[in-house]
Amino acid sequence: MSTTAAPAGSQIAEITSSDASLRRFLAGLPGVDQVGAEARVATLATRSIKTSAKAFALDLAIRMIDLTTLEGQDTPGKVRALCAKAAHPDPADPTCPPVAAICVYPDLVPVAKDALTGSPVHLASVATAFPSGRSSLDVKVRETADAVAAGADEIDMVIDRGAFLAGGYSEVFEEIVAIKRACVSPSGGPNAHLKVILETGELVTYDNVRRASWLAMLAGADFIKTSTGKVSPAATLPVTLVMLEAVRDFREATGRQVGVKPAGGIRTAKDAIRYLVLVNETAGEDWLDPDWFRFGASSLLNDLLMQRTKLRTGRYAGPDYFTLD
């Protein structure tokens, strides 16, 4: 796959100094070879891993999950139960690792914060008028700041796709910058990490995915994320390939590493392992870590637990053995 003709770190400020320079840079990114991207993904998807390597991959995938509940019917009880599962996914097996994070709506952050006390699990909150992104900047900033003040240490924001598709790159850039500022901890502790959701299913083309990835990273994103999970298609392997190439090239250009989070539609251990192979072969081993790669999922965890039990005991536990999320 072709790499991006990327700027040196010292050129970033110049690129983002005006609408014209930002537009010129994004328009100058090389186009994505759609046939090549899809063919490479198809080839990598045939890779098979067995025994100890599979056991490692299953545990790694569990450690990379952002266990998510983002429904209008979410209750404090459901969030507390999900937090318990996040910390101890398989209570019958103390060797099973915890997931990376819980992701909830902003009003349920205090509930999750209390439930996760003493746990290594991170607390993420969606913000910025999720999932549509259709609200004023003031409202988006306030929602983000409130979630951080309530205890969220990760924020998943969604970009204004309408503005992006209309060519309003500077508008999207400035909004990400403003949300990044709102991620500053009011207590002087660590700032919340910012994951920027591109909603790739609405961006239509791989070229747009590449441009949006670079735009988000230039604006300060700590992670770039495929989807809200509310739009189809959500995460796909080819889209994730394009985003992995972008973060790889961005680090080469600037020295700053940015994470990637595919979200939506990843339901089986086989799917997760395909993504891990893609990460390793595209961005490299440095991204094979929960600090740099996450799965946004609700149903994936149970299948990983079933496959893990099969490796350990020789038999499937069955889908009703683990709690339903």
Q: pLDDT tens digits, residue range 146-169?
A: 999 999 999 999 999 999 999 999
| pLDDT tier, 178 (very low <50, low <70, confident <90, very high otherwise) | very high
Taking 3-state DSSP, the helix, strand and coil percentages for the chain, each rounded to the nearest 5, stand at 50, 10, 40
| pLDDT tier, 317 (very low <50, low <70, confident <90, very high otherwise) | low
What domains can be seen in the chain, in order of their start residue? 9-313 (3.20.20.70)
pLDDT of 112 above 90 = yes
What single string gives the DSSP state of each residue in 17-56? SSHHHHHHHHHTSPPP-HHHHHHHHHHHTT----HHHHHH
Q: Tens digit of pLDDT for each residue in 33-82?
A: 999 999 999 999 999 888 889 999 999 999 999 999 999 999 999 999 99
What single string gives the DSSP state of each residue in 158-202? E--HHHHHTT-HHHHHHHHHHHHHHTS-TTSSPPPEEEEE--GGG
| pLDDT tier, 193 (very low <50, low <70, confident <90, very high otherwise) | very high
What the block records as the tokens of 318 is 């069955």
Nearest to 200, CA basis, from 260, 256, 146: 260
CA separation (Å) from 252 to 157, 212, 256? 25, 18, 8
Percent of the chain's residues with pLDDT above 70: 94
Q: Tens digit of pLDDT for each residue in 121-138?
A: 999 999 999 999 999 999
Asked if 237 and 194 count as a contact pair (C-beta separation under 8 A), the reply is: no
> What pLDDT shows up at residue 319?
59
The DSSP bridge partners found for residue 158 are 197
Instruction: Report helix, strand or coil for 122.
Output: strand
pLDDT of 313 above 90 = no
Per the prediction, the chain carries an average pLDDT of: 93
What predicted TM-score, i.e. pTM, was given to this entire model? Answer: 0.93
Give catalytic residues, as residue numbers: 156, 225, 261
What the block records as the tokens of 195 is 């994951």
Give the integer Cα–Cα distance in Å for 6 and 217: 12
Percent of the chain's residues with pLDDT above 90: 86
Using only C-alpha atoms, the chain has a radius of gyration, in whole angstroms, of 19
